[in-house]
Amino acid sequence: MRIPSLRVVLLFALVVLAMSSASFAQVRITVAFGPPALPVYEQPLCPGDGYLWTPGYWAWGDDDYYWVPGTWVLAPQVGFLWTPPYWGWGDGGFVFYDGYWGPHVGFYGGIAYGFGYFGVGFEGGRWDNGHFFYNRSVTNVNITNIHNVYNTTIVHNTTVNRVSYNGGEGGVTARPTPQEEAVANERHIPPVAAQTQHIEQARGNQELRASANHGKPPIAATAKPGEFREGAVASREAGAPYTPPANRAATEPRAENGRPATANHPNDLPPMEHPAAPNTGNAKLDKKYQQQQAKLSQKQAQERQKLQQQQDKEHQQMEKQNANDARKQQTEQKHQQQTQQLQQRHMQQQQDLQQRQAPRSPAPERPRG
């Protein structure tokens, strides 16, 4: 077994310490025309305690918008809330900003997704003593099974056209508040593995493409990520008539570092960025966490390199054998799947490490009544 040099270990540790706790790899996708309006649908019943609502939205893939159904997701960490993704106008097109988990809800374009997300903040519930309490006035919760609930009526402006993007012609005109700008600098973590798989499943469902459903997806929301049948809810109606432009051109999706948004190979993935270890005030414990992070970073870098070498070898073999286009396409699809699985596994490993490092708090008190 090859033992990594001290220099390599120290390099990874320094990289980890230098990284901002609020950052993680994000992909920026720019499309020439805007997404459809938000469809009208009912929220599925909350499946259990600890699940948080993540509203549905339009994503882009394979030359078309597709609907990612809203769903209930287990919070990755006590005290964390979901900031939804959104589309915003910029640089001559509509730019996609991914969602994230964090201690506060940040800016999500002022989009009125509903069910507690009315454009600013989140009114669907709150954390209290380690438990999430649901606001029954805007969320669908069965009080027979879930007792940590409350009722607060929310007064908000009615959205007439259910527009799904910020800026541009007809878009929402909201801008981030100083508080929302401050949230952007907090520690965030990306969508959890269940959400990533949920998105990929939606992308592969032809019925969820805007060109097929015209803004009225047959699966608008699900009880849990990936459960597109049991407990799924259909749209009642489209938010507005939708006719895609004849010229469906979109600028090539690119990552912040210039790599393609659809990663076929590990070298296409954005650089790995890991949040700094928590500052517990215990120097010995903090050093232990830094070593754990450095070890994980080194292992993931080696796995990326190994998969890239394997895929490069397969490309070389195809060139020698003069493979036809069908075989090349099949190989690329396999490489894309391998790369996405690797990325999802690394994201899950990072989240698991963060949860193990999270400061332990006393057992919360059960709500009375």
Q: Which of 255, 286, 302 is the last residue of a domain?
A: 255
Q: Which of 224, 255, 286 is the last residue of a domain?
A: 255
Do 339 and 225 share a structural domain? no
CA distances from 246 to 33, 193, 209, 211, 292 (A): 11, 36, 16, 11, 52
Lowest mean pLDDT among 63-72, 241-250, 311-320: 241-250
367 domain residue, yes or no:
no
368 domain residue, yes or no:
no
Residue 221, pLDDT above cutoff 80: yes
pLDDT of residue 11: 36
Do 347 and 313 share a structural domain? yes
218 domain residue, yes or no:
yes
Do 221 and 288 share a structural domain? no
pLDDT of residue 274: 59
363 domain residue, yes or no:
no
pLDDT of residue 340: 79
Do 286 and 251 share a structural domain? no
How many domains, the chain?
Answer: 2
Section 77-81 average pLDDT: 94
Q: Of the spans 81-90, 182-191, 268-277, which averages the highest pLDDT?
A: 81-90
Section 153-166 average pLDDT: 74
Do 329 and 269 share a structural domain? yes
Do 277 and 136 share a structural domain? no
Residue 321, pLDDT above cutoff 80: yes
322 domain residue, yes or no:
yes
Cβ atoms 42, 221 nearer than 8 A: yes
Q: Of the spans 59-63, 133-137, 150-154, which averages the highest pLDDT?
A: 133-137
Q: Of the spans 119-128, 154-163, 360-369, which averages the highest pLDDT?
A: 119-128
Do 290 and 249 share a structural domain? no
Nearest residue to 19 (alpha-carbon basis) of 277, 238, 217? 277
365 domain residue, yes or no:
no
pLDDT of residue 325: 66
The answer to pTM > 0.85 is no
Do 228 and 173 share a structural domain? yes
Structural domain of residue 250, as residue ranges? 26-255
Do 236 and 90 share a structural domain? yes
85 domain residue, yes or no:
yes
Residue 85, pLDDT above cutoff 90: yes
Do 181 and 63 share a structural domain? yes
pLDDT of residue 353: 81
Q: How confident is the model at residue 247 (pLDDT cuts 50, 70, 90)?
A: low
pLDDT of residue 275: 61
Do 249 and 150 share a structural domain? yes
Per-residue model confidence as pLDDT tens digits over 37-68: 999 999 999 999 999 999 999 999 878 999 99
Per cent of the chain over pLDDT 70 is 79
Q: How confident is the model at residue 92 (pLDDT cuts 50, 70, 90)?
A: confident
Residue 19, pLDDT above cutoff 50: no
Residue 177, pLDDT above cutoff 80: yes
Do 193 and 161 share a structural domain? yes
Q: Which of 206, 237, 255 is the last residue of a domain?
A: 255
233 domain residue, yes or no:
yes
